[in-house]
């Protein structure tokens, strides 16, 4: 886990890698190479996880031909090393970086499909005069690029481009609209910064320096695709057994490290699964010590400690608990925004931030976390609509009725809410706006200026619409879309920045591609059964998890008492921050409406929502990065 930088044609400036020193406190490297297309600068900051001695320093050269800066981990590097040495490749170090270099030398771009891991890297082939830039299947590790008339640059974090002559922080209008209206970002190649783009998960760039010209950006190419949803049919017993085998092996691979490994533990199904499987896997190691980290609040409806405690007691885990306050949140806001690079939709990520801070304090360098499970397994309650729509489309009317009854019985979901969710999954795109209103989401808030709204609302949240195909169930398509486009990329952004801010490597076992191919291939099957979410995970883990965790029906996951804090100790600061935002960005916000909305929400005259935080965070982000009005 590290920070990387590469620039071609631009004046080399080591500040670009120093800006992410937090990503790699264990070493740094910088190399400048003369090429036929101009100077190539490669920078690296190292967080030493595997082979922590000097043999792992980067940029790393292989066979006097290939040089790389690499961020991430190749979990199956031992198996790849054995295969490559059998083919005659010389590998001197114990690092996964050299294995990746040897794999590229042996197989070229096809090496990507052989890697089970999370990675973002820039590799230069001196002989072929070619740059090869790639990102892992689901985009666990970040990789951004920015081009100017003088050259092109690649980075782990957007802030690194501020070190380049000619870069200006300007907002992307479409990105600002999608964030302010819906709270999402990272769902497009474009970012919140105009001109800054990212490789999507499963993409690569190949740049022939002989043909490339400054200012040019070649089109990214896909190297990985998920299987078609509903392409795999398995009975529950076989599917859950296969799920457990793959999940166990995923955790096993992600325990490979030469530093202490711990786990995030919210008390939910996903994180509890990881803790319990890790406990099994290290049971025979007398020197192993398992640490879990939990964020707990005494606010009714938000405290999951009783569930986390049951898991810790069963596994004999050394538990660490953090309970940050409203004051802690306010003190951390600017640092969080700087590390995140882009504004975020609620304060819930502060709980995760606090957990990683505690892990760093405890000396744990690698943390396993549960991202990706809800999206693959239909763990979010709004996904009820897609599941029910699938039954209607296939005329499974009795099951449709039975599922509605079960959902209402287990979760108390209203018929109005269910009706809106089902219609949103079934009706054509032209009906999208009124259906959003039925489901409680206003597409054009009154607190946005009419000019800003008119310029952006025409293709309302277009990239968020789930692709509809005749051969995929609504739920199967939705799971795949959330995994690759909407929910997971955004959560991985939070995970990466929160962990790296505290020099922690976060690993996500549910995003092992073998597991994702099983769950997506199953489509709608074994996900929502008799009103119970994530049915296949519950069945697989039933003998392993504490029963009170297996039988949980609510969904939280490191939340914060945002409403309590905003209406109480932070009230005046929230109102002041809203004022600052509207004054800084008058072309976006209707000042009177924002102020009225903020007071009405804090006084309880309108329902509490995360929209107020989005307004505030957008303003603080703009100030922090000097984004022009």
Q: Half-sphere exposure of 71 toward its Cβ, with a 13 Å CA cutoff?
A: 36
Work out whether strand 366-368 and strand 505-507 pair parallel, antiparallel, or are unpaired: parallel
**Cα–Cα nearest to 136, from 112, 153, 114:** 112
Bond before 370 cis per omega within 30 degrees = no
pTM: 0.94
Secondary structure class of 189 (helix, strand, coil): coil
What distance in Å separates the CA atoms of residue 505 and residue 360, rounded to the nearest whole number?
A: 10
Predicted pLDDT at 440:
47
Phi, psi torsion values for 102, nearest 5 degrees: -65, -35
Per the listing, tokens 């490559």 go with 84
Predicted pLDDT at 10:
96
Per the listing, tokens 């069945």 go with 539
What distance in Å separates the CA atoms of residue 85 and residue 76, rounded to the nearest whole number?
A: 14
CATH class of 2-222: alpha beta
Per the listing, tokens 């200026």 go with 449
Phi, psi torsion values for 510, nearest 5 degrees: -65, -15
10 Å CB burial of residue 159 (0-12, 13-18, 19+) is buried
What distance in Å separates the CA atoms of residue 61 and residue 420, rounded to the nearest whole number?
A: 57
**Cα–Cα nearest to 568, from 295, 322, 294, 329:** 329
What distance in Å separates the CA atoms of residue 222 and residue 189, rounded to the nearest whole number?
A: 13
Q: Half-sphere exposure of 265 toward its Cβ, with a 13 Å CA cutoff?
A: 33
What angle (nearest 5°) sits at the alpha carbon of residue 193, between those of residues 190 and 194? 75
Predicted pLDDT at 472:
80
Q: Are 74 and 119 in contact (CB under 8 A)?
A: yes
**CATH superfamily assigned to domain 229-441+473-560:** HUPs (3.40.50.620)
| 10-residue stretch averages of pLDDT, the chain, 629 residues long | 93 96 96 96 97 93 97 98 97 97 98 98 98 98 97 98 95 94 93 97 97 91 96 97 98 96 94 97 89 86 81 95 95 97 95 97 97 96 94 94 95 92 76 52 79 76 66 91 95 98 98 98 96 96 92 66 94 97 96 97 95 97 93
Q: HEC profile for 13-31?
A: CCHHHHCCHHHCECCEEEE
Q: For residue 470, count other CB atoms closer than 10 A to its CB.
A: 5
What distance in Å separates the CA atoms of residue 203 and residue 134, rounded to the nearest whole number?
A: 6
What distance in Å separates the CA atoms of residue 414 and residue 409, rounded to the nearest whole number?
A: 10
Q: Are 367 and 359 in contact (CB under 8 A)?
A: yes
Secondary structure class of 505 (helix, strand, coil): strand
**Cα–Cα nearest to 141, from 575, 500, 526, 501:** 500
Query: What is the number of residues in the chain?
Result: 629
Taking the CA atoms of 158, 162, 167 and 168 in sequence, report the sign of the dihedral they define: positive
């Amino acid at each position: 886990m590290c920070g990387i930088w590469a620039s071609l044609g631009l004046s080399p400036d080591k500040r670009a890698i120093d800006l992410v020193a937090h990503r790699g406190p264990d070493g740094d490297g910088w190399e400048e190479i003369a090429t036929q297309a101009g100077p190539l600068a490669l920078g690296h900051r190292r967080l030493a996880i595997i082979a922590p001695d000097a043999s792992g320093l980067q940029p790393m050269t292989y066979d006097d031909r290939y040089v790389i800066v690499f961020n991430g981990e190749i979990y199956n590097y031992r198996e790849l090393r054995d295969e490559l040495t059998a083919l005659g490749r010389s590998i001197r170090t114990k690092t996964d970086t050299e294995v990746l270099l040897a794999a590229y030398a042996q197989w070229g771009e096809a090496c990507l499909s052989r890697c089970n891991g999370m990675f973002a890297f820039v590799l230069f082939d001196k002989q072929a005069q070619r740059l090869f830039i790639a990102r892992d299947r689901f985009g666990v590790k970040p990789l951004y690029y920015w081009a100017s008339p003088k050259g092109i640059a690649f980075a782990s974090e957007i802030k690194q481009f501020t070190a380049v002559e000619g870069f200006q922080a300007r907002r992307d209008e479409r990105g600002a609209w999608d964030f302010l209206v819906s709270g999402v970002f990272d769902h497009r190649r474009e970012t919140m910064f105009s001109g800054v783009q990212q490789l999507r998960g499963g993409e690569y760039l190949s740049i022939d320096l002989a043909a490339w010209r400054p200012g040019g950006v070649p089109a990214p190419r896909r190297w990985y695709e998920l299987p078609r949803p509903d392409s795999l049919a398995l009975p529950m017993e076989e599917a859950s057994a296969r799920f457990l085998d793959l999940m166990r092996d995923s955790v096993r691979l992600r325990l490979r490290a030469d530093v202490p490994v711990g786990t995030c533990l919210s008390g939910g199904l996903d994180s509890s699964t990881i803790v319990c499987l890790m406990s099994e896997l290290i049971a025979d190691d007398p020197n192993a010590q398992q640490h879990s980290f939990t964020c707990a609040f005494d606010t009714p409806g938000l405290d999951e400690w009783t569930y986390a405690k049951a898991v810790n007691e069963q596994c004999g885990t050394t538990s660490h608990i953090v309970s940050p306050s409203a004051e802690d949140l306010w003190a951390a806001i600017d640092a969080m925004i700087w590390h995140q690079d882009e504004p975020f939709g609620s304060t819930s990520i502060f709980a995760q931030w606090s957990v990683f801070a505690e892990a760093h304090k405890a000396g744990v360098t690698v943390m396993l976390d549960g991202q990706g499970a809800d999206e693959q397994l239909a763990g979010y309650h709004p996904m009820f609509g897609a599941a029910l729509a699938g039954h209607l489309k296939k005329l499974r009317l009795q099951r449709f009725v039975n599922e509605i009854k079960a959902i209402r019985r287990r979760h108390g979901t209203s018929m109005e809410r269910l009706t809106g969710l089902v219609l949103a999954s079934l009706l054509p795109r032209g009906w999208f706006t009124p259906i959003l209103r039925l489901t409680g989401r206003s597409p054009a808030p009154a607190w946005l200026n009419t000019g800003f709204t008119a310029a952006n609302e025409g293709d309302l949240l277009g990239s968020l619409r789930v692709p509809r195909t005749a051969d995929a169930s609504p739920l199967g398509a939705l799971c795949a879309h959330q995994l690759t486009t909407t929910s997971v990329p955004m959560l991985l952004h939070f995970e990466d920045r929160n962990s790296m801010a505290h020099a922690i490597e976060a690993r996500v076992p549910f995003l092992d591609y073998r597991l994702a191919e099983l769950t997506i291939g199953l489509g709608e099957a074994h996900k929502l059964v008799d009103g119970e979410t994530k049915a296949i995970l519950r069945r697989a883990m039933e003998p392993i998890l504490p029963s009170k965790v297996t039988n949980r029906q609510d969904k939280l996951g490191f939340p914060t008492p945002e409403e309590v804090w905003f209406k109480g100790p932070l009230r005046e600061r929230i109102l002041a921050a809203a004022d600052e935002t509207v004054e800084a960005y008058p072309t976006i916000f209707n000042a009177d409406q924002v102020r009225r909305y903020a007071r009405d929400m804090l006084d309880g005259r309108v329902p509490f929502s995360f929209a107020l935080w989005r307004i505030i965070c957008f303003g603080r982000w703009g100030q922090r990065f000097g984004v022009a009005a």
